[in-house]
Amino acid sequence: KAGVTQTPRYLIKTRGQQVTLSCSPISGHRSVSWYQQTPGQGLQFLFEYFSETQRNKGNFPGRFSGRQFSNSRSEMNVSTLELGDSALYLCASSDGTVNTEAFFGQGTRLTVV
Site of interaction with another protein (CB under 8 A) = 4, 31, 33, 35, 42-45, 48, 50, 55-56, 58, 90, 92, 94, 96-99, 101-107
Q: Whole-number minimum distance, CB 41 to another protein, in Å?
A: 9
Q: Which is nearer to another protein, 78 or 94 (CB)?
A: 94
Q: Which is nearer to another protein, 44 or 65 (CB)?
A: 44
State the Rg of the chain over Cα. 13
Q: Which is nearer to another protein, 75 or 104 (CB)?
A: 104
The three-state secondary structure class of 27 is coil
Q: Is the dihedral of CA 68, 44, 91, 88 positive or negative?
A: positive
Q: Whole-number minimum distance, CB 80 to another protein, in Å?
A: 26
Q: Whole-number minimum distance, CB 107 to another protein, in Å?
A: 6
Q: Whole-number minimum distance, CB 16 to another protein, in Å?
A: 28
Rounded Cα gap, residues 81 and 17, in angstroms: 5
Strand order in the sheet with 19-24: 5-7, 19-24, 74-78, 64-68
Q: Are 89 and 76 in contact (CB under 8 A)?
A: yes
